[in-house]
Amino acid sequence: MLATQGVLIIEAAPNDGAWGIAMNSADALRHVQAPHFDLHSAADEPVRFEVHGTQFTRPRREANALGKALMITRSALLAGVEAPPGIELRDAVGLVTKHMRLLRLPFDWAAAELRLREAL
């Protein structure tokens, strides 16, 4: 992750517009404009995706939470921030999402945290 330096990180997930960008990787490589999914995106264009037959729409600025979390984690690693010994994954994710909130990053927290709880 450190080798990516300041490169935009995106989660190419066609059925996830909260943690991902609601596109597969091939479409993302052709169509993604970095300002739409970066940390401080203000893009209002809609992202549309379907999960289990239900259609969702949200502003682009609220998508790519996983990519944003990884970029924040990368910044912390580059700055030499160390995690407490024995930290659990859930707690580490909590620290990153707290930082995302402090930065006031636009994001649908309720949807993403629900998905995260399902995954962990």
26-36: per-residue pLDDT in tens?
998 898 888 88
Instruction: Please give the structure tokens belonging to residue 107.
Output: 């994001």
Give the list of residues 6+ apart from residue 19 with CB closer than 8 angstroms, or none: 11, 13, 64, 65, 66, 112, 115, 116
What does DSSP say about strands 46-51 and 54-59: parallel, antiparallel, or unpaired?
antiparallel
42-86: per-residue pLDDT in tens?
888 998 888 888 898 888 888 888 898 888 888 888 888 887 888
**Nearest-angstrom CA–CA distance, 5 and 3:** 5
- Does pTM surpass 0.75? yes
pLDDT band at 11 (very low <50, low <70, confident <90, very high): very high
81-105: per-residue pLDDT in tens?
887 888 888 788 778 777 877 887 7
CB 22 within 8 A of CB 16: yes
